[in-house]
Structure 1
Amino acid sequence: MLEWFARNWFISLLIINYVVALSAAFFLLRNNQNPRKTLSSLLFLVAFPFIGLVIYYFFGLEYRKSKIFKRKDINSHDLIKKWNDRLFISDKELEDFDDDFLEDRVKMVKLLRHNDSAPLTRRNDLTLLINGKKTFESIFKDLDQATDHIHLEYFIIQDDVIGNKIIDKLVGAAQRGVEVKLIYDSVGSNLSGKARRRMRAVGIELNSFMPVIFSNFTRKANYRNHRKIIVIDGHIGYLGGVNISDDYVNTGERGKMYWRDTHLRIEGHAVKSLQSQWLLNWFFVSKNDNLPIKESYFPEIDENIGAAVQIAASGPDTDWANIMEAIFSAITTAEHSIRITTPYFIPNEAILTALKSASRSGIDVHILVPETGDSWAARYASRSYFEEILRSGARVSWYCKGMLHAKTMVVDDKFATVGTSNMDYRSFDINFEINALIYDDDIAQQLNVQFEKDLESSQEIILDRWAERSKVDKFKESFCRLWAPLL
């Protein structure tokens, strides 16, 4: 027997491959995942020996609700529970708001509150930050004024020019006695040993999220921490699309792609929700659920009545796809307009059906995506959805000036969301993401103004001309769409 295997080593490996593949297929079927994702995974397991197993390992495994991401209850800590209880608004109070600022968004508020204990907060001063320059200027100013703590959580932090400026600010804060803690994603970030040693030397605590050995090889590995969060002294917070990298600063340097992004500064009670979500991941990366929580993490805030904000967080540790469900709810309750800006438009069936139904019912749906983007596969996968979206009556435009990385949506000029979640499978189901849901006319109007400004650098896709694109392009789109649930 062993001699036969030695003489027929390739067939032997093939047999082993399919034995393992059958085990994986059994796991996929038993796990009752999304049918399209299951079929895509099964296709590659069967059609591509060896390679299919690698693809499945990095893209197909589903850890939601597993021991790896055991949910850490934010209410298990008395201090967090106390602030959540104080921030929660009763069902009766929500109904009273129905004719005020929430109108028909009450169901969305309840949805997130029941899904993820996400309270609606009303006392928030919001500042919309367009592109990296304004974002970093604002962050630098707030870091310089920090007095108690600075908590950061980033998908990408590089020790390049802008990264070292941030590190300088963090080191300076630590030297004047401010507590500084940093979570960085092991795959997305590229912090040198020198930079890490420099921070640790002044007392900065930093932990990598799910460390990997070969980060370049696992560039698209599953379950990455795609969030961008800063919490300063418990009452100032940041989230949005801007990572800490020179790529996000438009210096005009030759060969550098123009980067269009949107970030949000929050001052007020919603920062407490950001703080809670940051603490959850800090417990996870430090492997300690019993770390002390200082009173100063949740300070008293005497803000005047301001914008209403709800923080939606999702990831493989949550029981529900919170951000996707919130977006779905916003789309299905829209009355006259939906404006979406996203770098990757690879919607699941629920979002795709909701958008097409909204458009066919007379709602003005307009989707803005980058013309080229930074991923060949994602670009063609996105384009595969254009024709059916256009045929439903929706509008799609290409941003031609550079990389459009903003992740925003405005519905009916009254509701908006800004955050880290793309309009794709990976953000909805796999990565750790965080968005601010904003019930405020002023922010919605500011985002609408920016949307119109972005359209000045865009080209609308016309259905008749789009339908005449080459067969080669259509094949690329169809091929990449097969990968859509795995991208």
Structure 2
Amino acid sequence: MIFFIVLTLYIIVGIFIIIRLLLNGIRPTNTLAWMLAIFTIPVGGIFLYLMLGRNRRKNKLFTLRHTPKVASYIKKALQHHVPITKEEYSEHQKLISLITKNSYFAPCSGNDVQLLKNGDVTFKAIFEALNEAQDFIHFEYYIFEEGELTRNLFELFQDKIQHGVKIRIIYDGIGSLSLSKRYIKKLQNIGVEIYRFLPIRFGKFLTSINYRNHRKIIVVDNKIAFTGGINVSDKYVKGDPHLGIWHDMHLQLKGPVVHSLQTIFALDWYFITNKDDIFDTAYFSHYPKIGESTVQIVHSGPDSDFSATQQLFFSMINEAHDYVYITNPYIIPGESILESLQVAALSGVDVRLLLSESSDSEIVRWCVRSYFERLLHAGVKIYLFPEGFLHSKTIVADDTVSSVGTTNLDIRSFEQNYEVNAVIYDDSFALALKNDFLSDCSKSIQLNYNTFVKRPWQDKLKEGVAKIFSPVL
């Protein structure tokens, strides 16, 4: 009798979920997959759906991001944002319009953009900027991992707090899971405001575990900002025992674009703390034009109406005439990006992908490789970087437009993570990024289609099994 009641309740819940899937209008293949999971995996199918399958864009779970107070702040923030004229961006008008509608930031000119390659260069620039701080430091990272870097940061923060600098830190509840309570308490004791983004808590586990803040943002005094792929971890300067040095790209930004990154940090801060002091107009500073680069910030998350970062990559690939070069450690593209890469290559565009030969996850490694055969067959050139672990997330096209940021080419980044990228409309910057890409390719192993298709069947089986998990990797 009890079994019959439980079975009946399970079927009712399952039917309710299927109705929600149909009402939300997700892809038929996804609907079918979740139907099979729910009715073939007892209990576990429903739990998997609750963690991984719900459409946040339809459900609008994170309503705190859409309050009148938030809308008012965004309106005020944009009033202090001076965009460029249409005449200045005619070459990339479609891309710029797309990003503006998705992320509400128009491009702004007069910025100084410095490309920072690898940890030593990046953290040198970051510490120099932090040492110059006089008013505030805003710090937002996916991985905040204890080690020599965090010890040095603590000493710097301690000195800055004593000199009246206000320090706010956001770290992700999963990415920084190893961050000890002792270290957090030390920061709090010296006056640092530090909060976790969507911490793992009983009762909210199913609604938050799969939605992470993957952004890396530093803003200092409204004068200088940093973003890119590098986390706060010693593996970027010392390496780790298994992969060696982690190679990555970061950006140092000065000028009006700093305001865009400050706005994103403020919205994230309000979302997790419900403190609106960061919306104070004192943070709407004057941003002088001090460089020649035009930059536009694109950001997205599971609460966005559209996947802005996915559409960024899609648009850049489709608009490329001569070449598009992509460096990314996690290329699990999904059908739309996969199709755009194939169409571009088949149309005569020089499409190249640069990835790390090694990986920090075996299942991700095999899943990434499961797409290689189709890409190579279409004419996409694939290079595997053999030194350490290549973690950069960059794209450059036609010597005119580039993007450096936090977004991976996978479904998790496009649909489930909070991400941020800087799009740079600058020929000289694009050329520098292109040359760096080609330099890394010269050190890498280029795959050959005819050789790759003859790989062992065991490898093909591993790829097939790993590909099943592509929506959640």
User: Kindly tell me: are residues 42 and 131 of structure 1, through their superposed partners in 2, closer, same or farther at Cα, counting changes over 3 Å?
Assistant: farther
Letter in 2 for 1:29: L
Q: Is residue 28 from structure 1 mapped to residue 30 from structure 2 by the alignment?
A: no
User: Corresponding residue for 2:289?
Assistant: 303
The match for 1:191 among 166, 176, 179 is 179
User: Corresponding residue for 1:8?
Assistant: none
Superposition pairs of residues 134-173 of structure 1, within 5 angstroms: 134-173=121-160
**385-394 or 19-28: bigger deviation:** 19-28
Query: Deviation of residue 68 (structure 1)?
Result: 2.7
Task: Indicate the SS of the match to 1:354.
Answer: helix
Superposition pairs of residues 177-256 of structure 1, within 5 angstroms: 177-189=164-176, 190-213=178-201, 221-249=209-237, 251=238, 255=242
Query: Deviation of residue 73 (structure 1)?
Result: 6.7
The match for 1:344 among 316, 319, 330 is 330
User: Corresponding residue for 1:278?
Assistant: 265
| Aligned residues between the structures | 468
Letter in 2 for 1:182: I
Superposition pairs of residues 302-451 of structure 1, within 5 angstroms: 302-451=288-437
**1:337-373 Cα deviation digits (max 9, x unpaired):** 0000011111122211111111111000001112231
CA distance in 1, matches of 2:256, 2:224: 9
Identity of aligned residues (%): 36
Does the Cα contact within 8 Å between 1:360 and 1:392 map onto a contact in 2? yes
Task: Indicate the SS of the match to 2:277.
Answer: coil
CA distance in 2, matches of 1:28, 1:444: 42
Query: Deviation of residue 451 (structure 1)?
Result: 1.0
Does the Cα contact within 8 Å between 2:118 and 2:249 map onto a contact in 1? yes
**434-443 or 155-164: bigger deviation:** 155-164
Does the Cα contact within 8 Å between 1:87 and 1:120 map onto a contact in 2? no
User: Corresponding residue for 1:257?
Assistant: 244
CA distance in 2, matches of 1:18, 1:473: 39
**1:104-153 Cα deviation digits (max 9, x unpaired):** 31111111112221121101101111111111111111111100110111
Q: Is residue 106 from structure 1 mapped to residue 99 from structure 2 by the alignment?
A: no
Does the Cα contact within 8 Å between 2:250 and 2:405 map onto a contact in 1? yes
Task: Indicate the SS of the match to 1:87.
Answer: coil
User: Kindly tell me: are residues 469 and 310 of structure 1, through their superposed partners in 2, closer, same or farther at Cα, counting changes over 3 Å?
Assistant: same
Does the Cα contact within 8 Å between 1:120 and 1:310 map onto a contact in 2? yes
**1:238-279 Cα deviation digits (max 9, x unpaired):** 111111111222x26755522111111101111100011111
User: Kindly tell me: are residues 275 and 459 of structure 1, through their superposed partners in 2, closer, same or farther at Cα, counting changes over 3 Å?
Assistant: same
The match for 1:463 among 449, 456, 461 is 449
CA distance in 1, matches of 2:284, 2:345: 43
Structure 1 length normalisation: TM-score?
A: 0.90
User: Corresponding residue for 1:122?
Assistant: 109
User: Kindly tell me: are residues 22 and 380 of structure 1, through their superposed partners in 2, closer, same or farther at Cα, counting changes over 3 Å?
Assistant: farther
Letter in 2 for 1:263: H
CA distance in 1, matches of 2:234, 2:29: 37
Does the Cα contact within 8 Å between 2:255 and 2:291 map onto a contact in 1? no
The match for 1:291 among 277, 285, 294 is 277
Does the Cα contact within 8 Å between 1:131 and 1:259 map onto a contact in 2? yes
Letter in 2 for 1:260: H
Task: Indicate the SS of the match to 1:223.
Answer: coil
Query: Deviation of residue 414 (structure 1)?
Result: 1.3
Q: Is residue 81 from structure 1 mapped to residue 79 from structure 2 by the alignment?
A: no
Runs of 4 or more off by more than 4 Å in structure 1? 11-19, 73-80, 252-256
CA distance in 2, matches of 1:272, 1:473: 48
Letter in 1 for 2:119: G
User: Corresponding residue for 1:485?
Assistant: 471
Query: Which 5+ residue runs of structure 2 have no aligned equivalent?
Result: none
CA distance in 2, matches of 1:469, 1:16: 48
CA distance in 2, matches of 1:398, 1:256: 14
Root mean square deviation of aligned Cα: 2.4
Query: Deviation of residue 168 (structure 1)?
Result: 2.2
User: Corresponding residue for 1:68?
Assistant: 61
Query: Deviation of residue 304 (structure 1)?
Result: 3.4
Does the Cα contact within 8 Å between 2:243 and 2:388 map onto a contact in 1? no
Query: Deviation of residue 306 (structure 1)?
Result: 1.5
Query: Deviation of residue 221 (structure 1)?
Result: 3.5
Letter in 2 for 1:61: R
Does the Cα contact within 8 Å between 1:387 and 1:466 map onto a contact in 2? yes
Query: Deviation of residue 14 (structure 1)?
Result: 6.4
CA distance in 1, matches of 2:434, 2:6: 57
Structure 2 length normalisation: TM-score?
A: 0.92
CA distance in 2, matches of 1:437, 1:263: 13
Does the Cα contact within 8 Å between 2:256 and 2:288 map onto a contact in 1? no
Query: Deviation of residue 65 (structure 1)?
Result: 4.7
Query: Deviation of residue 305 (structure 1)?
Result: 4.6
Does the Cα contact within 8 Å between 2:243 and 2:360 map onto a contact in 1? no
**1:188-215 Cα deviation digits (max 9, x unpaired):** 103211111111112211111111049x
